[in-house]
Amino acid sequence: MNVIILVACCVCLVAGRPQYANPTATPIPILLDQRIPIDQLGGYGFKIQTGNGIAWQETGAATSKSGQYTFTHPDGTPHALSYTAGVGGFLPVSDLLPTPHPLEPWHIEQIRFAESQRAATASVSAATAVQIKK
């Protein structure tokens, strides 16, 4: 019985210790917040800048939009991206976007060879189809 009371007291002591709250994040001030209300044709726009260096602006219509945003990576690298979006999809432009490696001459040679083989196969298939119809 004494052991149960001792264990219960230890549990109460541990549960009653001060709880250290997580430090609250410092609020980031909004330096600029301009908004153009939506017009009757669906056009809109906004421009936002925050105290930590994030900036975003966008203008658009009912079927397309364009804009840009900038921020700084934790390592100090600035990131800027411009974009358009519409019928052709989302088209970003930035120096930090990955780009494909340039093709080597032998890659181009293989692609041309494959295209010539595909064209030859297509012409043989078309000639065979004409002979079958006769």
pLDDT tens for each residue of 37-57: 999 888 999 999 999 999 999
Domain contains 38: yes
Domain contains 75: yes
Domain contains 48: yes
Residue numbers of the domain that contains 42 = 25-93
Domain count, the chain: 1
Domain contains 87: yes
Domain contains 40: yes
- Joined tokens for residue 38: 């939506």
Domain contains 71: yes
pTM equals 0.57
Domain contains 18: no
* Span 72-126, pLDDT tens digits: 999 999 999 999 999 989 999 998 888 888 888 899 999 999 999 998 887 776 6
